[in-house]
Structure 1
Amino acid sequence: MFESISIPDFETLYTETELNVIDIRETSNYLKGHLAYSISLPATLLPNMLKKLNKEKTYHIISYSGRRSEIIASFMASKGFHAVYVIGGIQHFSQAF
């Protein structure tokens, strides 16, 4: 299943529940700042790492602007994962606080 979530809704979920967040930015950008407890899994590596992810879980996919996360979430959904892309990406999430 493929879904999207707005920054305000994601912010609420993120602060109130335990989410599986995959940050698909390159590792160097992840290390400059990321959401606590997020998993760094660059978009270029993700297709080869799908076998390590659990299809029973929901994954919130975040990138810098949201464009790549939409593509990756759609790809993951086509492989049987429940993926939710965060509209606007991390650039807007950090501004939401």
Structure 2
Amino acid sequence: MKKFEVIAVSASKQLIAEQQPMILDCRDLKDYKAGHIDNAMHVHEQLRDSLLKKGDKHRPLLIYCYYGHASEHLAEMFGDFGFQQVYSLAGGYAEWKQHNSV
């Protein structure tokens, strides 16, 4: 059984609006700096380890990467550590950007 849910961009927008999840960007730092979802934190090893040990396991967690593959591995890790609501963004930042381009 999966310990996380893959979530579409439209559902992720609703999640962000209603539940203010912690948002984690697991792409390279240069890509994060070039653009990311509002309020997203860049995941580096120390942040990941700190959250796994001391993070609020009841706060929803939305994780994304480039295209939605690497974020699933990270989402699974957080689920394994007992986080209750873990979501991986389907299609990653590429999909998010496509739905949010003007």
TM class by smaller structure: 0.7 to 0.9
Q: Indicate the residue corresponding to 2:95 in structure 1.
A: 92
With normalisation by structure 1, the TM-score equals 0.84
Q: Distance in 1 between matches of 2:55 and 2:14?
A: 24
1:58 aligns with 2:63: no
For the residues of structure 2 that align with 1:31 and 1:73, how far apart are their CA atoms? Answer: 22
What's 1:80 paired with? 82
Q: 1:30 to 1:52 in 2, by over 3 A?
A: farther
Task: Find the aligned partners of 2:92 and 2:83 in 1 and give their Cα distance.
Answer: 20
4+ runs deviating over 2 angstroms: 11-14, 16-19, 46-49
Residue 47 of structure 1, CA deviation:
4.6
Q: Is the 8 A contact 1:11 1:93 kept in 2?
A: no
- Give structure 1 stretches of 5+ with no counterpart: none
- Contact kept? 2:21, 2:59, Cα under 8 Å: no
Note the 1:29-40 alignment, pairs <5 A: 29-40=31-42
Structure 2: 5+ residue stretches without partners: none
Give the number of the structure whose residues are more often helix, by fraction: 2
Equivalent residues of 2:25, 2:64 under 8 A apart:
yes
Partner of 2:21 in structure 1? 19
Q: How far apart are the structure 1 equivalents of 2:21 and 2:58?
A: 13
Mapped partners of 1:80, 1:19: distance in 2: 16
Q: CA-atom RMSD, angstroms?
A: 1.6
